[in-house]
Structure 1
């Protein structure tokens, strides 16, 4: 018996170990014991999504002012900054950069990217153009890829087109011509800012795109495209789809061109200027019967204590079900007392304890007296400073002629690592940007979607029929009606019919009454139909008797008549004999 129990115990332990460990506890098939084998030899970390990925192939853009695929790494073209943010010695650009392949939702093999490697750091890196790019002749097209491998809770992924000529180490103080790209820290938006030089003062002003589009926040590679046309219009696209169009002259804040006139900063409102349209009547006097000290609320002397009020019942009583704990020591813990609970008698009564008359609004209350308002005889209207010509006014109708660009940089603060940039294009060809999107970005993006769907397959969608949906809604409604009727019944017993009807808001009572009325109507209709059928049956019997012609029908008719005669006799005794005599007579004939 003991041996059988031991065998059963060993089997149970083995079954439990298999459930806990599963396939991960499989013994290596290379003949080793597995003790010194790495974890990757037991469980593979590589997702087996089964998607065939395209391989990286260099793409040429001969006429680009700048084209970067990071096939040659960082050095010597890209240089990380070791400077500090302007005016912040502690905020040094200490974030690390690397050129490497993607690690999340890989859509292409052998494809290097510029990757942010540090969290909660300031990052800055830049690369110069071979020669300055001038947007004036043909406009500007700027496009690049962004992949948020670790998502983005707070940080930037925007690029800066640096103003030529470049000087000093790259930082936030480096002048830029245009800033473009996604950003998320609080609000999520695609930045578009351009700097414009005031020809009068020589100062630069930042102009921000109003109502910028919202960027996607997944881990796929997304393509951001900016086009600045020579007619001052702009276009912002994400993944080849235009998300915002506008004008450099009309859709940026502040506007490029300042107003012709401004308020005179030296103009001050005169001391005797009256801009109050109404003033208190100086001749008004408070009425002699006006009592400012009268209280807002007074005791209602007409109130009567409800009949169900229990004046001698306390609101709280000792819990009758409470028991003194067995370990309670009166010497150490003091005298034990049961905890207090609400008085159950008060729940059924109109109230408990000493009754006080309620308060009501004081009919004599008037509050603080103030004189009435009258028209101000010295009113001159709302004062505004006089308008003067703007000394800094200018009119630039060609803001698309941006300052020349000498380099591209990423100057970011981010709480997440893994922000990746790739396939950076700067030029003036919309056609080249479209070819890059079609031949470089699109195959990668499609493969990433396939990998994502393979790793996270969507469950099949089960469509409910309309009948099941109606039945479900009916079931929910009936449950609501039942609950409301129960609440109505409790309120009816507790507060009376008036309060119960006033508190009933769900329509349950009306629904129940409508259902009852419908049932009553159907029942009466059925009863009326039965009445009509019953009155029609005697009228059909003579017709059947008069149309019977064969012998069988005559016999049946005679038998029916004889039965009717028998039933009409008080004793009913000779009915059977009469039938027998008639039957015998028929047999003889």
Structure 2
């Protein structure tokens, strides 16, 4: 009995110490607490509940621990030597911006590596029976700089390890590396050559690039049309016949590859006139542009003025040590005298077009008498022509897989549906994806940083602003006086900023003089023009002062004497 127990103990220790197989999927374990922020912002996170989808070729919610149906590839990329699919995968709880508590997904765990993983269907799926509906979720838990998140439907029968060389029926999903787009590529079997060709959707839609869960839906209808929806909204619809490059059906006629243009075929409608001669006065060396002889240097062009001058506002730093730091020099600024002047430095005449310029001479063109028209090879029946109106009848599908290169980890896949029911896909969108997306969106909006109110300026800010304005005014006045002394009042007033200060000073001076003149003139007016008249003097007694008697009194006496006579 003891011997048996010892054997069992050794066997258990050996199994515990044995390394895990490379194709095992790591279970990332329980997610850390992610509901704190949601609770702080009053957002309720629902708990995960499995959702049943009947009659699906594949319905994957990654509820099985370790996802046993998913097999990590051990192959080497065919397109690149020594490039193995060594990227790591894990089935684990979502850790960033959780919309459903306990929801697991298939997560890319490594950066700057090649990743490949696939899951075989219980039985091959035939899209030609009733169309195809493919839908799955993508969540970028980290900012995606360069990487793919598309899915491949692998052609039956699946053989060997999954790689970039594995035949696939259809590839669909987002990709971001330089250009962002949603791929849609299907492979078609040429019934004549019996070879597969890839056909890429032209003008693919652009995917959202954020940390929310986004739903990608592809529908292939049995009338050779397709529809691409993102988050339940149609983004691109069209025809499998018309919207893909190259088109599936080849042209009925092609150029005859054996037909060659005759050696004597003239397809030049015009030829140089062989009889034409270059005129004797044609100067091919005459320049196109010459100095303008009529130009005159502007009066306000300062040839002796440098373009840069020391900044008069600059001050030597208090901690500047001439012995260690060298002689201090003010930084250079644009010469204010050159700001409004016509120019500074050496003056040169502007260039104008040379009236004698003719350029290189060439003979004029005339009609080619041997012209036969544009040559084109004759058209023949295309031996590879076929007309396939059943493009929806895609090759049978044996498995689904992700074969990706990405510079970032955290790309997460979930709720993968493959079948033929648009109604089932719509119910998944309404009952599984949308509640999760709404919670993620609510948390994202609640956690968005609010713009802080603009701080009110303090006393120090106001004082600093006032000092800057005073310094600016003093600098403008100083510059104005400097130019005034050297160039005169006109040049000083033409300076952009100093002139403004000078004009302001002149205006203030004139205003002050006008105010004083008005006071003086008012005083003179009141003193001279509007002075009051002297008061009237009392008349002397007429009976005692005959010299001052009025003429009327004399007249009255005369009239009285005449009446008495």
Using structure 1 for the length normalisation, give the TM-score: 0.64
Task: Work out whether residues 155 and 415 of structure 1, in 8 Å CA contact, stay in contact via their aligned partners in 2.
Answer: yes
* Deviation, structure 1 residue 460: 12
More divergent stretch after superposition (184-193 vs 289-298): 289-298
1:123 equivalent in alignment to 2:115? yes
Shift in CA distance, 362/418, structure 1 to aligned 2, threshold 3 Å: closer
Shift in CA distance, 346/144, structure 1 to aligned 2, threshold 3 Å: closer
Task: Work out whether residues 141 and 225 of structure 1, in 8 Å CA contact, stay in contact via their aligned partners in 2.
Answer: yes
- Any residues of structure 2 matched to 1:379-398 within 5 Å, and which? 379-398=371-390
**3-state DSSP of counterpart to 1:436:** helix
**3-state DSSP of counterpart to 2:444:** helix
- Any residues of structure 2 matched to 1:161-560 within 5 Å, and which? 161-298=153-290, 300-301=292-293, 313=304, 327=322, 360-456=352-448
Task: Work out whether residues 322 and 328 of structure 2, in 8 Å CA contact, stay in contact via their aligned partners in 1.
Answer: no
* Deviation, structure 1 residue 295: 3.8
**3-state DSSP of counterpart to 1:205:** strand
Mind listing any 5+ residue stretches in structure 2 that lack a counterpart? 1-32, 454-488, 497-535, 539-565
Distance in 1 between the 2:180 and 2:243 partners? Answer: 19
For 2:101, which of 80, 104, 109 is the aligned residue? Answer: 109
**3-state DSSP of counterpart to 2:127:** coil
Distance in 2 between the 1:242 and 1:382 partners? Answer: 46
More divergent stretch after superposition (448-457 vs 413-422): 448-457
Distance in 1 between the 2:233 and 2:300 partners? Answer: 74
Task: Work out whether residues 34 and 96 of structure 2, in 8 Å CA contact, stay in contact via their aligned partners in 1.
Answer: no
Shift in CA distance, 360/450, structure 1 to aligned 2, threshold 3 Å: closer
Task: Work out whether residues 57 and 121 of structure 2, in 8 Å CA contact, stay in contact via their aligned partners in 1.
Answer: yes
Number of equivalences: 425
**3-state DSSP of counterpart to 2:130:** coil
Q: Which portions of structure 1, spanning 4 or more consecutive aligned residues, are displaced by more than 4 angstroms?
A: 43-46, 297-311, 313-329, 335-360, 457-461, 492-497
Task: Work out whether residues 110 and 409 of structure 2, in 8 Å CA contact, stay in contact via their aligned partners in 1.
Answer: yes
Distance in 2 between the 1:393 and 1:357 partners? Answer: 70
Distance in 2 between the 1:266 and 1:347 partners? Answer: 72
Shift in CA distance, 285/493, structure 1 to aligned 2, threshold 3 Å: farther
Using structure 2 for the length normalisation, give the TM-score: 0.67
Match of 1:68 in 2: 60
Distance in 1 between the 2:427 and 2:97 partners? Answer: 24
Distance in 2 between the 1:102 and 1:320 partners? Answer: 60
Shift in CA distance, 364/83, structure 1 to aligned 2, threshold 3 Å: same
Shift in CA distance, 349/267, structure 1 to aligned 2, threshold 3 Å: same
Distance in 1 between the 2:248 and 2:73 partners? Answer: 32
Task: Work out whether residues 67 and 423 of structure 1, in 8 Å CA contact, stay in contact via their aligned partners in 2.
Answer: yes
- Root-mean-square deviation (CA, aligned residues, Å) is 3.9
* Deviation, structure 1 residue 171: 0.5
Shift in CA distance, 405/281, structure 1 to aligned 2, threshold 3 Å: same
Match of 2:11 in 1: none
**3-state DSSP of counterpart to 2:122:** strand
**3-state DSSP of counterpart to 1:88:** coil
Task: Work out whether residues 280 and 374 of structure 1, in 8 Å CA contact, stay in contact via their aligned partners in 2.
Answer: yes
* Deviation, structure 1 residue 443: 1.5
Task: Work out whether residues 120 and 416 of structure 1, in 8 Å CA contact, stay in contact via their aligned partners in 2.
Answer: yes
* Deviation, structure 1 residue 398: 0.5
Per-residue CA deviation, residues 86-144 of structure 1 (Å, 9 max, x unaligned), is 14232211110000110111011111111110111110000001110111121111111
Task: Work out whether residues 143 and 433 of structure 1, in 8 Å CA contact, stay in contact via their aligned partners in 2.
Answer: yes
Distance in 1 between the 2:421 and 2:98 partners? Answer: 29
Task: Work out whether residues 141 and 426 of structure 1, in 8 Å CA contact, stay in contact via their aligned partners in 2.
Answer: yes
Distance in 1 between the 2:136 and 2:337 partners? Answer: 77
Distance in 2 between the 1:276 and 1:117 partners? Answer: 64
Shift in CA distance, 49/279, structure 1 to aligned 2, threshold 3 Å: same
Task: Work out whether residues 318 and 338 of structure 1, in 8 Å CA contact, stay in contact via their aligned partners in 2.
Answer: no
Distance in 1 between the 2:315 and 2:450 partners? Answer: 58
Distance in 2 between the 1:436 and 1:453 partners? Answer: 24
Task: Work out whether residues 140 and 227 of structure 1, in 8 Å CA contact, stay in contact via their aligned partners in 2.
Answer: yes
Shift in CA distance, 377/78, structure 1 to aligned 2, threshold 3 Å: same
* Deviation, structure 1 residue 204: 0.3
For 1:53, which of 45, 53, 62 is the aligned residue? Answer: 45
Shift in CA distance, 116/288, structure 1 to aligned 2, threshold 3 Å: same
Shift in CA distance, 89/349, structure 1 to aligned 2, threshold 3 Å: closer
* Deviation, structure 1 residue 315: 5.7
Task: Work out whether residues 316 and 340 of structure 1, in 8 Å CA contact, stay in contact via their aligned partners in 2.
Answer: no
Distance in 2 between the 1:427 and 1:442 partners? Answer: 20
Distance in 2 between the 1:281 and 1:272 partners? Answer: 20
